[in-house]
Structure 1
Amino acid sequence: MEVGDGWARFELEPAEWHYNVIGSVHGGILSTLADTALGCAIHTKLPAGTGYTSLDLTIKFTRVATVDSGVLTCEGTVITIGRRTATAQARITDSSGRVIAHAVTTCLIIPSG
């Protein structure tokens, strides 16, 4: 895991227990990876004590991921941030740099207090 101003990067090494019944990494696993990177990217732009929650998550799966894909890397970056909502985008790539999936989210910003 790495984070910076407006971005977050997470990695996952696929294992067979991540598979769905057709023998590839389950879309829910990839969605969780994307949602985590997206939310954390937004979190880096918020003042201390401010919360957030996902309003939506849209993900497009473009390539099958398996244990042979190597480490999957997901980097999320903030697109916009306002007073009440923020948006971010992410790409999941395999160890060869091929895009496995891409995603966008909108998060509700929850002021402290």
Structure 2
Amino acid sequence: MGRSRTYAWEDPAVTAAAAGRTSGLEFLHEMLAGRLPAPPVTATLGLALSEVERGRVVFSLVPGEEHYNPIGSVHGGVYATLLDSAAGCAVHSTLPEGMAYTSLDLTVKFLRPVTLDTGEVRAVGTVLSSGRRTALAQAELLDGADRLLAHATSTCVLFPTSAS
């Protein structure tokens, strides 16, 4: 007996073309409001951007079987994607028009397993330090009782966009 899952996404070129044309905070607010399409990875994994403010971003996910590894819990790559998204977008939220970022590294610590029984989880990303060329952010993966499930730090490189 098999299972299946169907999903759809918008053209990622629309969102990519808008990057750098406004501040990072405005860009993320446009995405949160649905005026810019979310990146396809959010549809693939079922991630949702749920909060945006300067220096802080929250993504959420309801774990499903499609996220499982062979031993019956959410795959570490799903944790890492949530944490990378939250940390990176927290950095993005601080950038002025004409600037972008990319992750240089991501260090993840897995503390508790996530399963269907965990319920919705939230990845809360915050900027710890930001300079002209790099920014350091952290992200925490939390369950509904605010228990820490995983933690990550990320260094991001900052650069001008082609739109600037």
Q: TM-score, normalised by structure 1?
A: 0.97
- Residue 65 (structure 1) aligns with: 114
Which one of the candidate residues 76, 80, 86 is aligned to 1:31?
A: 80
Residues in 2 aligned to 1:66 and 1:104: alpha-carbon distance in whole angstroms: 23
Q: Per-residue displacement from partner, 1:71-95 (whole Å, max 9, x unpaired)?
A: 0001000000000000001100111
Larger radius of gyration: 2
- Residue 147 (structure 2) aligns with: 98
Residues in 2 aligned to 1:60 and 1:76: alpha-carbon distance in whole angstroms: 15
- Residue 14 (structure 1) aligns with: 63
Greater displacement, 79-88 / 94-103:
94-103
Which one of the candidate residues 30, 49, 56 is aligned to 2:98?
A: 49
Structure 2 counterpart of 1:90, one-letter code: A
Query: Higher helix share goes to which structure?
Result: 2
Gaps of 5+ in 1: none
- Residue 109 (structure 1) aligns with: 158
- RCO higher in 1 or 2 (8 Å CA, sep ≥ 6)? 1
Q: CA RMSD in A?
A: 0.8
Number of aligned residue pairs: give it.
Answer: 113
- Residue 27 (structure 2) aligns with: none
> What fraction of aligned residue pairs are identical, expressed as a percent?
53
SS in 2 for 1:10: strand
Residues in 1 aligned to 2:144 and 2:93: alpha-carbon distance in whole angstroms: 26
Question: Where do residues 80-99 of structure 1 align in structure 2 (5 Å cutoff)?
Answer: 80-99=129-148
